[in-house]
Amino acid sequence: MTDAHTTGPFIAAIDQGTTSSRCIVFDKDGRIVSVDQKEHEQIFPKPGWVEHNATEIWENVQEVVAGAVVKAGITAADVKAIGITNQRETTLLWDKNTGEPVHNALVWQDTRTDALCKELGRNVGQDRFRRETGLPLASYFAGPKVRWLLDNVEGLRERAERGDILFGTMDSWVIWNLTGGTDGGVHVTDVTNASRTLLMNLHEMRWDERILQSMEIPAAVLPEIRSSAEVYGNAKGGVLDGVPVASALGDQQAALFGQTCFSEGEAKSTYGTGTFMLMNTGETPVNSYNGLLTTVGYRIGDQKPVYALEGSIAVTGSLVQWMRDQMGLIKSAAEIETLASSVEDNGGAYFVPAFSGLFAPYWRSDARGVIAGLTRYVTKAHIARAVLEATAWQTREITDAMTKDSGVELTALKVDGGMTSNNLLMQTLADFLDAPVVRPMVAETTCLGAAYAAGLAVGFWPDTDALRANWRRAAEWTPRMDADTRDREYKSWLKAVERTMGWIEDEE
């Protein structure tokens, strides 16, 4: 049901995430009117391989859109635009004549392209990729996943070269289906998603022909690159039939937008399955010399693109899930706070969750997880504490790199995402960063950002100043730890990180 104080019209945002798809309906003040959400299966065919069934995902998306619209008690006529946001880099190829995926989607966490990336590094050179795309050559990104599919699904390369196959990250897949699929669906992506493929020239916002050649990817499979806020087409069929599909942003860029980080130097960090900190660097891409990514923050219509520096951490909330599902040490994610709070400190234990190698600032695919400092004294409560500290220390490493690259000292950090409901974690974060941590009223900043971009595209909101006015602080944590303890603990953490490196040998 709609909130008693809200009247239409509304914007609907779809977030196709790593663990679930959700749809949220927002009103003009950026308040949530209704939410619907559904999880999808995580498929682990081999160690290091992670897949999603894209057909299941599209069915879930349709279900949650219908669910959110019904819960809001509205119809398509009340919805001015649909915004899309998505897990980034997750890669799908499908047949444009049948609409059938040719293989499960390869998820961003999947490491099967490690060897391919090493080979590309030797043949083409790391520097070329960094220079043209802003990214290090790593299995995280979409391009190598496309190449793997073309090389490993029988007959696929020929079909792709004939023009029968489409590539997309989840934004493209959802938009294509939403706008009609085999019946005239539009095949597009936005600049933020394209900037995560290792295939887009970051300076010119176009597919890079030389990189496509060296990756052996036919241009015929690629979607058109569009801005993050414009009408791509109208929804065809379903409960939102006829509503303009008016934004697409990778989920982390959407959170930057939803946190209204529209000025240079403003940053946010989102704590979900993984953690991603983005800092707005304005209209110029800033090169990173400290292990961060240079990426597109957003582009509104035909305005200039806005760039960002990003620190990506692969494993944060998923470590809590692992403690729950694989270790059985807690029954719910929230229980980690109770368990960790039952002890004063980590008891000397440090947990570096390098399950998919280490992302920023190291980019080491040969690293694997380590629990260091174990003695008989350590209990499961100390491990729970070390799990939470791992997220906070990894954030600290990224803020250090951001300061070095941008020259901007962190004065406060805007946070969002599922893990921010953990007060102990938020306090630990403020302690380790030695800076205040601030959470906004609407913690669903990813959907909010997609809604804001779609709303700007159709004139629902006039400009970014109107969006800023909606941002309100809900909670703040200030640092309490003394400098000596912080420095000593940080040194121990860094020592534990060293122990993770070089675990995987080349031939593995």
Ligand X SMILES: Nc1ncnc2c1ncn2[C@@H]1O[C@H](COP(=O)(O)OP(=O)(O)O)[C@@H](O)[C@H]1O
Ligand Y SMILES: O=P(O)(O)OC[C@H](O)CO
**Nearer residue to ligand X within complex by CB, 20 or 341:** 20
Shortest Cβ 273–ligand X spacing (Å): 3
Question: Quick check: 249 and 298 in contact, CB under 8 A?
Answer: yes
User: What residue is closest to ligand X based on CB?
Assistant: 418
Nearest to 490 by CA among 413, 412, 400, 425: 400
**Nearer residue to ligand Y within complex by CB, 140 or 461:** 140
Site map for ligand Y, 104-133, x if CB under 6 A? ----x-------------------------
Question: Quick check: 386 and 371 in contact, CB under 8 A?
Answer: yes
Nearest to 221 by CA among 158, 161, 141: 161
Choose among ligand X, ligand Y, none what residue 252 binds, the Cβ cut-off being 5 to 8 Å by kind: ligand Y
Shortest Cβ 417–ligand X spacing (Å): 4
Residue from 18, 111, 195, 427 touching ligand Y (CB under 6 A): that is 18
CA-to-CA separations, 253 to 28, 268, 302, 309, in angstroms, rounded: 21, 10, 18, 11
Shortest Cβ 111–ligand Y spacing (Å): 14
Which one of the spans 146-154, 267-275, 338-346, 408-416 is the region binding ligand Y (CB under 6 A)? 267-275
Question: How many residues interact with ligand Y (rule CB under 6 A)?
Answer: 12
Asked if 251 is part of the footprint of ligand Y (rule: CB under 6 A), the reply reads yes
Choose among ligand X, ligand Y, none what residue 419 binds, the Cβ cut-off being 5 to 8 Å by kind: ligand X
**Nearer residue to ligand X within complex by CB, 276 or 307:** 276
**Nearer residue to ligand X within complex by CB, 223 or 272:** 272
Nearest to 499 by CA among 361, 329, 358: 358
Choose among ligand Y, ligand X, none what residue 334 binds, the Cβ cut-off being 5 to 8 Å by kind: ligand X
Q: Tokens 């070269």 sit at which residue?
A: 161
The rounded distance, in Å, linking the Cα atoms of 242 and 389 is 48
Asked if 394 is part of the footprint of ligand Y (rule: CB under 6 A), the reply reads no
Nearest to 222 by CA among 204, 200, 248, 253: 200
The rounded distance, in Å, linking the Cα atoms of 356 and 408 is 30
Asked if 193 is part of the footprint of ligand Y (rule: CB under 6 A), the reply reads no
Shortest Cβ 363–ligand Y spacing (Å): 14
SS (H, E, C) 37-106: EEECCCECCCCCCCEECHHHHHHHHHHHHHHHHHHHCCCHHHEEEEEEEECCCCEEEEECCCCCECCCEE
Choose among ligand X, ligand Y, none what residue 201 binds, the Cβ cut-off being 5 to 8 Å by kind: none
**Nearer residue to ligand Y within complex by CB, 109 or 470:** 109
Tokens standing for residue 339: 């368990």
Residues 61-100 interacting with ligand Y (rule: CB under 6 A): 87-89
The rounded distance, in Å, linking the Cα atoms of 84 and 245 is 8
Residues 273-302 interacting with ligand Y (rule: CB under 6 A): 273-274
Contacts with ligand X by CB under 6 A lie at: 17-20, 272-273, 317-318, 320-321, 333-334, 336-337, 417-419, 421-422
Check residue 285 and report its DSSP letter. P
**Nearer residue to ligand Y within complex by CB, 51 or 89:** 89
**Nearer residue to ligand X within complex by CB, 16 or 133:** 16
> What's the start-to-end Cα distance of the chain, in Å?
54
**Nearer residue to ligand Y within complex by CB, 17 or 455:** 17
Site map for ligand Y, 424-453, x if CB under 6 A? ------------------------------
**What is the DSSP pairing of strand 437-440 with strand 413-416?**
parallel
Which residues of this protein are in contact with ligand Y, per CB under 6 A? 17-18, 87-89, 108, 250-252, 272-274
